[in-house]
Amino acid sequence: MHHTQSIGASALARLSVAPCLLMTSMAMAGVVDDSKASLELRNFYLNRDFRQESARQAKAAEWGQGFIARFESGFSEGPVGFGLDALGELGIKLDSSRDRRGTGLLPFDPASKEPVDAYSELGLTGKLRVSQSVVRLGTLQPWLPVALYNDTRLLPSTFQGGMLTSQDIEGLTLDAGRLTRSNLRDSSGRDEIGYGTARSDAFNFAGGSYAINPQLAISYYYGQLDEIYRQQFVGLVHNQALPGGFGLRSDIRYFDSRGDGSRRAGEIDNRNFNGMFSLSHGGHKVSAAWQSLSGTSAFPYLNGGAAYVVNLVTLNDFTRADEDSWQLRYDYDFAAQGIPGLTFMTRYVDGRNVRTANTGNGEEWERDTDLAYVVQNGSLKGLSLRWRNLSFRSGNGLTTDIDENRLILGYTLALW
């Protein structure tokens, strides 16, 4: 009798566990079914010629191959969904030397100055979703006015921390979070978050954007790099269809940056008002931009990041203290001529009134040209080829002169 009861109890246990396993399997189905993965291949050659005879290094020239693997899971079923994302990055030296280092493609040994053969990073991000709000913890790549990751070399930079993004209210996106570490675009290490040579415990941020209508959006963000600086941003973007098939886009941005706490990076005092207006018709687009800085310091932004300003171009961002700069730009999409995938861009940026320790009237300018093609059909569909050429000149105490070429081949393979 006792034996019969044991068999019955065991069967009952199995019957009770089975529905739990089935429910768990169903709950986790969304994690796998809605997942996606990709592998991006990026081949990058950069040649930089320093035009001054007195330069310590005549040129910088490096060639590397980058691999960027991304995995993004779905969310488990239920009112609270869980998921996990992963990012793997590997950079391999194809050509470089100690006397041609410093392009930002490859890290080098501080003692020997010899570029490394390879560098890598693995980042994991746990995420939780409630309704239309998502919390992410781990490796982050924020694209916000006060915290913008850098993706202009072989591998993109990353940050470590936590971030909440909420879209529960139609038209409104809210962001808030805390960043504690940064991984630079040419590094395998995670450094303390900071600005310049100053380090901080954390960068805290909050803000959002609101689409008043399909044509008009406004935004506000606040960021605080603890004990270094605090920053406010206000932005407006407006798109307007005009008669005759023309389109006008207005993008206006304003930053107010001040010192915070013990001011580990020195006194921060900067106002940055910048904007761009673009007129498009068919394959043509003509843009004009300006940038006006005031205060006693340069415009601050996070190490490992980039400046969210309209005059951030291929090499320079024109954010020195008191600098005024303007830009003229022309884009053309050859799809209008029956050649889809082929695009052209050229621009000129001129900066004046730069104030440094050596001058109160520094000048600098940059001219960029981009020619790119993305294969549209066949076995190589999606392969991109890009040539970037630039010239940079400066004067009145700003001594860097550069001619540069970049050749970039990219291909992203969807794994599933």
DSSP code, position 114: P
Domain 31-414: homologous superfamily in CATH: Porin (2.40.160.10)
Which residues does 389 contact at the CB level (< 8 Å), separation at least 6? 368, 369, 370, 404, 405, 406
What global pTM score does this model have? 0.90
**HSE-CB of 288 using CA atoms within 13 angstroms:** 2
331: number of Cβ within 10 Å:
17
**HSE-CB of 336 using CA atoms within 13 angstroms:** 11
pLDDT per residue of the chain (416 residues) written in tens, 0 to 9:
444 444 444 433 443 444 443 445 555 667 888 899 999 999 999 999 998 766 678 899 999 999 999 999 999 999 999 999 999 999 999 999 999 999 999 999 989 999 999 999 999 999 999 999 999 999 999 999 999 999 999 999 999 999 999 999 999 999 999 999 999 999 988 999 999 999 999 999 999 999 999 999 999 999 999 999 999 999 999 999 999 999 999 999 999 999 999 999 999 999 999 999 999 999 999 999 999 999 999 999 999 999 999 999 999 999 999 999 999 999 999 999 999 999 999 999 999 999 988 888 999 999 999 999 999 999 999 999 999 999 999 988 887 899 999 999 999 999 99
SS3 341: coil
Residue 134, judged by CB atoms within 10 A of its CB (0-12, 13-18, 19+), counts as middle
